[in-house]
């Protein structure tokens, strides 16, 4: 027999691994839904423990605690006259999905579209409860979206994403009293081998061409970055966020994210501590932009010159001050990192990393210098998309800082570690080329010759074939040689489909040879 029932779809706030707290929150939501007249309530996967506990999820103690908690929750639901659903199942003409699907740019839109098509094809309703705030932010962010779709494929109800509290969404759905059957979840309903999307016929594959889509994507990225950082700050009971502000592109975006996270947590912006650390190559222009941006945003500002301490260090190790080599540059990067770490220790804070995906791909960072932080917010973003993010922030989110942000965008990327002009792209190559190479190599799995031909076709006339032939080998050599830096990088949320985290889907040993790729390119 099939009836209509008011279904509550829950997205609870999670305390990862804390069964007691999670159980109390689940019971509170059960009571709230029952009071609202719901006949059933569905929760995300592993709601009593959190779905991202890793290897310890299978520990006997965790399993025993979770089993006892589930029994208590089911009994409480029975007592309150509401059925509690803790695992994915089919009920006649309704599928209930208990999921823990991490966020990625545009991923949620693809899920909604695919599930809508599935419901229409099978004339079946569907409810999805997804894990949210409090789940691990080690390599991704869980947004907590809830969804109910009717048999015609039309969305009936949708919960908000990126919220920091528990939420319930209600919808009338068909309900069978027959014994439920189990379903595996999204993996069972969505195509297992989805076709690889065609290579974008544009020179910047990470950036949507449509202006409205780009704006939506930038907003979604900001939400992922902000929620990841806010979760981590709250988890470690941080009292501040500490960030080195250079006046460059990467630190500017990371600072904006830190400010948004402070706002989301209800902090005073003074709890964001921005530190300028001028060195041997710092220009008045970038230092001025950094200072003006911090003042405009209302954060705490500190200015600490690294020249005296680095000078003493170089003298201590017997390095001539006029030898402007890698040691000269790395000493500055490591001194800055030490300053930030020690300020964070003094202030009960967390050092926010600024490095981006393009720099990680090239290894364009100092090992245990700017390579290191306590949480990286930009590590999933390529440089080309970073520029669009800052431009979007100037237009939509921080209009008061727009003149400074535009000035940052117009400033050539430079580490400013040497006296005089030091444009990064003159040294390692143009970032729009390297981002194209990265996307083609990892997302499209192209060979070097295929990448070369595609780049020559799609990046002309901005770059001729000779320039592409010059920089592609540089990218490949650096990509393979610098894996050791990526293998010990800080936690950071995945943003798009290309991810270089050693804990994610991309695994690569530090000593893997580039010979096959270089030989194919040479041939």
Shared domain for 171 and 239, answered yes or no, is no
Quick one: CA dihedral 144, 149, 154, 157, positive or negative?
A: negative
**Is the peptide bond between 420 and the residue preceding it cis, with omega within 30 degrees of 0?**
no
pLDDT > 80? residue 522: yes
- The answer to whether position 119 is within a domain reads yes
The whole model's pTM is what?
0.93
Assess whether 235 and 130 both reside in one domain. no
- What tens digit of pLDDT does each residue of 387-433 get? 999 999 999 999 999 999 999 999 999 988 988 888 899 999 999 99
- Pair (126, 185) in one structural domain: yes
Buried b (16+ CB within 10 A) or exposed e, 121-157: eeebbbbbbbbbbbbbbbbbbbbbbbbbbbbebeebb
**pLDDT tens digits, residue range 267-293?**
999 999 999 999 999 999 999 999 999
Let me know whether 438 and 327 are in one domain.
Answer: yes
Nearest to 52 by CA among 127, 168, 128, 142: 142
* Distant-in-sequence, close-in-space partners of 34: CB < 8 Å, separation ≥ 6: 77, 80, 81, 82
Q: Tell me if 385 is assigned to some domain.
A: yes
* Shared-domain flag, residues 151 and 267: no
Q: What is the pLDDT of residues 170-221, one digit of tens each?
A: 999 999 888 889 887 887 777 655 555 666 668 899 999 999 999 999 999 9
Of 109, 98, 315, the C-alpha closest to 208 is 109
Burial class (CB in 10 A: 0-12, 13-18, 19+), 313: middle
pLDDT of 490 reads 94
Residues 332 and 422 in one domain: yes
Q: What is the DSSP letter of 249?
A: H
Question: By residue range, what is the domain housing residue 306?
Answer: 211-522
Count: domains in the chain:
2
Q: Under DSSP, is residue 236 helix (H, G, I), strand (E, B) or coil?
A: coil
* 198 part of a folded domain: no
The domain spanning residue 15 has which CATH number?
Answer: 3.60.110.10
Contact 352, 379 (CB under 8 A): no
Last residue of a domain, one of 189, 223, 243: 189
Share of the chain above pLDDT 90, in %: 86
- The reply to whether 249 and 368 lie within a common domain is yes
């Amino acid at each position: 027999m099939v009836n209509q029932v008011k279904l509550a779809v829950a997205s609870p706030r999670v305390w990862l691994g804390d069964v007691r707290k999670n159980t109390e929150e689940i019971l509170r939501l059960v009571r709230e839904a029952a009071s609202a007249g719901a006949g059933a309530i569905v929760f995300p996967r592993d709601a009593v423990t959190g779905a991202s506990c890793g290897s310890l999820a299978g520990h006997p103690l965790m399993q025993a605690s979770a089993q006892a908690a589930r029994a208590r929750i089911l009994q409480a639901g029975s007592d309150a006259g509401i059925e509690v659903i803790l695992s994915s199942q089919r009920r006649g003409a309704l599928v209930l999905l208990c999921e823990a699907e991490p966020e990625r740019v545009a991923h949620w839109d693809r899920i909604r579209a695919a599930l809508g098509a599935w419901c229409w094809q099978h004339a079946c309703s569907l409810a999805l409860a997804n894990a949210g705030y409090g789940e691990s932010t080690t390599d991704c962010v869980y947004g907590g979206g809830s969804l109910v779709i009717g048999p015609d494929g039309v969305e009936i109800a949708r919960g908000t994403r990126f919220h920091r509290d528990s939420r319930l969404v209600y919808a009338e759905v068909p309900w069978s009293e027959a014994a439920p059957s189990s379903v595996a979840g999204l993996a069972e309903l969505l195509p297992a081998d989805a076709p690889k999307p065609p290579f974008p016929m544009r020179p910047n594959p990470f950036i949507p061409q449509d202006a409205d889509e780009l704006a939506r994507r930038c907003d979604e990225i900001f939400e992922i970055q902000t929620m990841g950082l806010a979760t981590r700050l709250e988890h470690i009971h941080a009292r501040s966020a500490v960030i080195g502000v250079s006046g460059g592109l990467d630190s500017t975006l990371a600072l904006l994210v830190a400010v948004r996270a402070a706002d989301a947590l209800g902090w005073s912006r003074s709890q964001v501590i921005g530190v300028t650390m001028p060195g041997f190559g710092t220009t008045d222009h970038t230092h001025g932009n950094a200072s003006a941006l911090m003042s405009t945003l209302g954060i705490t500002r500190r200015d600490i010159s690294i020249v005296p301490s680095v000078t003493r260090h170089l003298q201590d190790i017997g390095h001539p001050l006029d030898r402007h080599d890698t040691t000269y540059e790395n000493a500055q990067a490591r001194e800055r990192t030490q300053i930030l770490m020690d300020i964070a220790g003094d202030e009960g804070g967390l050092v926010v990393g600024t490095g981006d995906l393009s720099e990680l791909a090239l290894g364009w960072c100092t090992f245990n210098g700017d390579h290191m932080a306590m949480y990286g917010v930009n590590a999933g973003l390529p440089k080309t998309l970073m520029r669009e993010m800052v431009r979007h922030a100037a237009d939509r989110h921080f209009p008061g800082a727009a003149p400074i942000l535009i000035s940052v965008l117009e400033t050539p990327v430079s580490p400013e570690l040497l006296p005089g002009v030091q444009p990064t792209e003159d040294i390692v190559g143009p970032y729009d080329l390297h981002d194209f190479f990265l996307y083609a190599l990892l997302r499209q799995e192209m060979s070097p010759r295929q990448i070369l031909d595609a780049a020559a076709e799609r990046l002309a006339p901005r770059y001729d074939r000779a320039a592409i032939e010059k920089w592609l080998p540089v990218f490949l050599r650096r990509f393979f040689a610098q894996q050791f830096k990526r293998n010990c990088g800080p936690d950071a949320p995945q943003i798009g489909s290309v991810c270089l985290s050693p804990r994610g889907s991309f695994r690569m040993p530090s000593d893997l040879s580039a010979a096959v790729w270089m030989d194919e390119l040479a041939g």
